[in-house]
Copies of this chain bind each other. A is one copy, B any other.
């Protein structure tokens, strides 16, 4: 059957009909009073979602653009920065920082393992001259399904006292608590097509007071991504440049839905989806990539040993119209990833487990009790 896709990748994520309908409205002028009201509402709700008192800035970019803005607005060429690298996105932030002439020290961990908090601690403690200007970390590493210990790394940064913490929360924001003000996270970047439940095209950057102070002396060149221009406009319920109006209509609706559900409920839902996905996959005799203790609430990576990951993906797609993500870079063909982020409910996870079981059987895998995947997921949901 055509066009009955179930999108289970870690972004873009499924979009509620309420949001799709909102996006299909006729655009309005972005310098109108009507638009100002929308901007006011979305800023308030973005602040709510980020648990911050400071206005979150919305930019017309994808997640990478938001992260680049999060880096270049607060640093100058030659600045020393630590970048946590244990996946595709950590590597990307290292690349961006190098492109802009920062002095980048990568703190590496194997893909599938979390970053080592102690390494950050010792680097930061050793920096008596306070030369380290920023620590750049991916919270939930989408490429591996590993959640880094942001709270732990942040404590080391706070003990240092000088460095900013710049966070890629692209697949954690809206899936788990990222208490920006409480933790004193200086810069937090995220993207629309993830926990926000809207299509791609908007990036978000939360900026704390300390980062705004750093902004004043940062000298890297920028204009379109200059967050100071955005801050000024946002404070007047306006935008520095033309916003993606129809996507903003969608964001307005999605944030209303998120408020209706409530932050705690959203986080609980994602946690349950994570646990059920992992339990189901294990019950089907497949190996998880990454340990339970460091599992992202957004995406579960699976490393099958007896059957090709890409065969599972293509069968799931062709037979059931379920889209799963593949591996990236050296993990291409070695893992597949189940997204359970944003507009995903328990029924979707049960569906994936049922289809995954049929797929494995079709591919000759029989090392599990029929029904085991669904049963294991059900057990988590019953708990």
* Contact among B14, B24, B27, B223 with A7 in the assembled complex (CB-CB below 8 Å): B27
Enumerate chain B residues within 8 angstroms of A226, measured Cβ to Cβ.
99
Enumerate chain B residues within 8 angstroms of A29, measured Cβ to Cβ.
7, 9, 12, 323, 325
Enumerate chain B residues within 8 angstroms of A220, measured Cβ to Cβ.
221
Query: Is A61 within 8 A of B224, CB to CB?
Result: yes
Known: A29-B12, A62-B60. A242 touches B7 (CB 8 A): no
| Copies of this chain, tallied across the complex | 2
**Cα A26 to Cα B225 with chains together (Å):** 29
Known: A9-B29, A27-B199, A29-B323. A64 touches B95 (CB 8 A): no
Query: Is B27 within 8 A of A60, CB to CB?
Result: no
Known: A24-B23, A26-B5, A100-B221. A246 touches B64 (CB 8 A): no
**Interface: A183 (CB within 8 A):** no
**Cα A246 to Cα B101 with chains together (Å):** 35
Q: In chain A, residues 305-350, which have Cβ atoms closer than 8 Å to a Cβ of chain B?
A: 323, 325-326
**Interface: A30 (CB within 8 A):** yes
**Interface: A205 (CB within 8 A):** no
CB distance from A163 to the nearest CB of B (A): 21
**Cα A148 to Cα B326 with chains together (Å):** 50
- Greatest chain B CB density within 10 A among A26, A31, A246 is at A246
* Contact among B64, B224, B247 with A201 in the assembled complex (CB-CB below 8 Å): B247
**Interface: A154 (CB within 8 A):** no
**Interface: A65 (CB within 8 A):** yes
Q: In chain A, residues 238-272, which have Cβ atoms closer than 8 Å to a Cβ of chain B?
A: 241-247
**Interface: A294 (CB within 8 A):** no
Q: Which residue of B lies closest to A222 (CB)?
A: B99
CB distance from A53 to the nearest CB of B (A): 28
Q: In chain A, residues 179-204, which have Cβ atoms closer than 8 Å to a Cβ of chain B?
A: 191, 193, 199-201
Q: In chain A, residues 11-29, which have Cβ atoms closer than 8 Å to a Cβ of chain B?
A: 11-12, 14-15, 20-21, 23-29
Sample of 6 A–B contacts (CB below 8 Å): A11-B242, A31-B325, A60-B62, A64-B223, A200-B242, A201-B247
Report A's interface with B, CB cutoff 8 A.
Answer: 5, 7, 9, 11-12, 14-15, 20-21, 23-32, 60-65, 68, 95-96, 99-101, 191, 193, 199-201, 220-226, 241-247, 323, 325-326
Instruction: Given contact pairs A27-B200, A68-B223, enumerate 8 new A-B contacts (beta carbons under 8 Å).
Output: A9-B29, A12-B29, A14-B27, A61-B224, A62-B242, A99-B223, A199-B247, A201-B246
